Chain A
């Protein structure tokens, strides 16, 4: 059969059930596709050699009419900071190039239990620190819509592989926008669920109070399918909650008109092309009866400084574990003095990681704690109160996902602050813990633009329903044609 790779998860799952094609056919096509196009994109760090064998096992189950999981046939790529048993997990860091995890992350275990197939591990900024997927030890990932441009990040491989139809869907992690930013830059859907919806067990930690695993896919329905597999309580992650199944709900299901708040500060701070698109998106949503008003989020001025303080402080503490003793690369510890061994080994971190660890050490210095870290947590608290108050009046906050269009690979790479500022719209959801999604909204000069929708904590279902309605109205292309 032709072009199975272009199908959505929903179509794949019904296709293999009806016997329209085999899982093996589908996986084979994807592997051929990866082989043919990934050198242009560089989304994959590792391709799973076992994928075809797993596909045959699922085909056998189908043939024998055995029970199959809801994701049978669905092929998932995984950001390379999520542990996969016996498939190397590198975090795009020299320190972990040879790391072979002895266990699966909870999300991987659940995907396998649902009969999804893991096709490989996807590129990222080293330890997920970045917004462009240029800062990893395997080189940059290129945008499938135009390979001269950045793909966004840090889950750049996860968004690019889905946009280029190298897998059905993928997993990313989102610490300050790392799922939504590349989803926006690649014209795919990226969802960061409420903090605690998805287990982080097996996610290699960068900033644990902010980060959350979530899916990237070409349609909102596929996001729902993925969430039903990966979400829910896990005794290995104490921040997780019990979770009802998500429904594929539509606009007609809304009893009352959904009220949108257009976040003034985030729209004013964006490229005018992008701001205009947010207003026209809102017009589309009004056409089916949704209400909107302009709202203001004052603590935004300080949210980015608060975010980077917390993220870097947690990074310096989380990355202290990389001593190269229990795992790492081959370096004989005998003959070295304790501290000099670690300092030598740890200098193999990339530039961006080293900077963040050092700034993290700075903000946690005993004399500076109340100047930075405590203040950052207080701003987090104010932002939370402000956002919670807004959600009494509106159901969904709408803004651009990214204030800028995708830019060229390498552009402004020496100015860290310039790169950090583009996270302004996305960090809010991580600081507060709310769910947020990026949905394709249009293009400017053939470069994708996404809009961000954000709902109150635990209102993931509402958010997905509204997203589904918007997706249908906007009807934006999800597939670049150069490949």
Chain B
């Protein structure tokens, strides 16, 4: 069982300001998805190594400073003295 409060918590962690109607709708659907994923819990895998991507070191590029040529004023208009404006932190 996934509680409504838990979904509310997930929305907060995800920084999503859901309305009550949305919360209602997502609660049901998320519960179904999580129930499906719970099947992972039904098997024991203690002796298995998890799979992560491994990379050989020889192909790393040189550690050089490169110009990106990105002009922020093209993608946002809230720029001041070369910095992007952001909301205040409490």
- Point out residues on A near B: beta carbons under 8 Å: 99-100, 102-103, 209, 233, 235, 238-241, 302, 305-306, 308-309, 316, 320, 323, 325-328, 330, 332-344, 346-347, 349, 351, 354-355, 357-363, 365, 371-372, 374-382, 384, 414-417, 420
Contact = CB atoms under 8 A, between A and B. Distances in A.
B45 A382 contact: yes
Contacts of A358: 7, 10-11, 14, 16, 26, 30
6 contacts: A238-B61, A335-B87, A338-B87, A343-B12, A347-B16, A372-B37
B5 interface: no
A305 to B, nearest CB: 5
Contact of B89 (A102, A338, A344): A338
A381 B17 contact: no
Contacts of B48: 378, 381-382
A52 to B, nearest CB: 25
B28 to A, nearest CB: 9
B71 to A, nearest CB: 6
Contact of B87 (A309, A336, A416, A420): A336
A354 B26 contact: yes
Give the dominant DSSP class at A's interface: helix
Interface string B34-78: 101101110101001111110100011100000011111011111
A327 B52 CA distance: 32
Contacts of B87: 333-338, 340-342
Contacts of A332: 78
Interface residues of B, number: 53
B82 to A, nearest CB: 13
Contacts of B6: 362
Given A102-B68, A335-B87, 20 more contacts: A100-B74, A239-B55, A305-B36, A320-B15, A334-B78, A336-B88, A338-B87, A339-B90, A342-B15, A343-B16, A343-B17, A351-B26, A354-B14, A354-B22, A355-B29, A358-B11, A359-B37, A365-B13, A417-B33, A420-B36
B70 A102 contact: yes
B4 interface: no
Given A337-B90, A341-B87, A354 B16 contact: yes
B45 A371 contact: no
A357 B74 contact: no
A347 B16 CA distance: 5
Given A305-B40, A355-B33, A374 B50 contact: yes
B1 interface: no
Given A330-B77, A336-B88, A359-B34, A372 B13 contact: no
Given A238-B59, A384-B51, A361 B33 contact: no
Contact of A333 (B30, B36, B37, B86): B86
Contact of B10 (A361, A375, A377, A415): A361
Given A338-B86, A342-B15, A416-B29, A328 B76 contact: yes
B30 A355 contact: yes
A235 B61 contact: yes
A235 B75 CA distance: 25
Contact of A357 (B14, B52, B77): B14
Contacts of B43: 302, 375
A362 B59 CA distance: 35
A316 B14 contact: yes
Contact of A378 (B45, B71, B86, B88): B45
A378 B51 contact: yes
B16 A357 contact: yes
A380 B51 contact: yes
Contacts of B70: 102-103
A360 B11 CA distance: 11
